[in-house]
Amino acid sequence: MVKVAQMDLPAGYQELLDKILAYFDNQIYPTWASRYFHTTRAAKKRNVEKTYMPSAAVAWKALNPAEKADWTSASIFGTLNNYQLFLADFAYRRKNGLSLPGTPSDYHEVMGLEIQNPGGSTNVRLRRDEKDLVGPIKIEFNYLKTENALTASVPFKFVATAYYFKLGEIVTLEHTWTAPAGNVPWASVSESFGTASQKYFHLTVIWYLDAYDAIVDLDHLLITSNAVDKYRECWQYKAGRTWEYDDLYRKTGWLFTPGFRVPYFNVIYLN
Express each pLDDT in 86-144 by its tens digit: 988 988 888 888 888 889 999 998 889 999 999 988 999 999 999 999 999 999 999 99
In a shared domain, residues 87 and 119: no
pLDDT digits (tens, 9 = 90+) for 188-211: 999 999 999 999 999 999 999 999
Pair 173, 236 in one domain: yes
pLDDT digits (tens, 9 = 90+) for 44-66: 666 655 677 778 888 999 999 99
- Same structural domain for residues 63 and 121? no
Residue 200 β-bridge partners: 133
pLDDT band at 43 (very low <50, low <70, confident <90, very high): low
| Same domain? 90 vs 130 | no
Domain range for 183 is 111-269
pLDDT reading at 242 higher than 80: no
* Rounded Cα gap, residues 222 and 230, in angstroms: 8
Q: Does 215 lie in the same domain as 176? A: yes
Identify the DSSP state of 118: G
One domain, residues 168 and 253: yes
In whole angstroms, give the CA distance from residue 105 to residue 270.
10
Within a domain: 83: yes
82 lies in the same domain as 215: no
81 plus 120 within the same structural domain: no
Q: Give the H or E element holding residue 253.
A: strand 253-257
User: Is 127 found in the same domain as 58?
Assistant: no
Hey, how many other C-beta atoms are within 10 angstroms of the C-beta on 148? 14
| Structural domain includes residue 261 | yes
Specify if 85 maps to a domain. yes
Structural domains counted in the chain: 2
- Which of 95, 124, 152 finishes a domain? 95
| Residue 263, preceding peptide bond in cis (omega within 30° of 0) | yes
Q: Do 88 and 221 reside in the same domain of the chain?
A: no
Of 35, 65, 95, the one marking the end of a domain is 95
Structural domain contains residue 77? yes
Measuring CA to CA, how many Å separate 184 from each of 20, 138, 143, 158, 160?
63, 22, 8, 16, 22
211 and 144 inside one domain? yes
Does residue 101 fall inside a structural domain? no
In a domain, 254, yes or no: yes
Q: Is the pLDDT of residue 234 over 60?
A: yes
| pTM greater than 0.85 | no
Instruction: Tell me whether residue 263 is in a domain.
Output: yes
- Polymer length in residues for the chain: 271
Whether 116 and 185 share a structural domain: yes
CATH label of the domain that carries residue 233: 2.60.120
